[in-house]
Amino acid sequence: MDVALARALERVADGLAAMAVGNPGPYAACWADSADVTLFGAWGPIEKGHHAVTRTFEWVGSRFSDGELVPRYEVVDVSGDLAYTVGLEQGTVRTDDGEARPMTIRVTHVYRRIEDDWWLVHRHADFPPADQRRG
């Protein structure tokens, strides 16, 4: 794997860990400062542009406390100046001051290489539905 991409994935993992305890700053810092970044969030928000996306992360972070989230990648691939990951974010989180509960989110991230570093430019996430092939 590209060394710079591996560093970006580590920054995202650190950012998710911070988000789970209510600190969205490190995750927001993983995003390209661009008008064309996009978010299709697991809790409903669809946003475009760095300011709108990072403000949404402030809202998400305000909902979490005392948690942990860890990315688990099924696919990591690079093509030119774009890369993507497909996988899950899993952990236990306390949301809106409720009880700590397990959480799993399906996530696709798209990264763009900008000046020899990788930055997030898109997130599509959702809560996985039940597999309808079963029962």
Task: For residue range 47-80, list pLDDT tens digits in order.
Answer: 999 999 999 999 999 999 999 999 999 999 999 9
Average pLDDT value for residue range 11-20: 97
CA nearest neighbour of 47 among 107, 119, 127, 122: 122
Query: By the 8 A CB rule, do 21 and 106 touch?
Result: no
Task: Report whether pLDDT(135) > 70.
Answer: no
CA nearest neighbour of 112 among 39, 19, 31, 3: 31
All structural domains of the chain, each given as residue ranges with its CATH number in brackets, are: 3-126 (3.10.450.50)
Task: Report whether pLDDT(134) > 90.
Answer: no
Task: For residue range 105-130, list pLDDT tens digits in order.
Answer: 999 999 999 999 999 999 999 999 98
Distance CA 134, CA 64 (A): 32
What pLDDT is recorded for position 119?
A: 98
Share of the chain above pLDDT 70, in %: 99
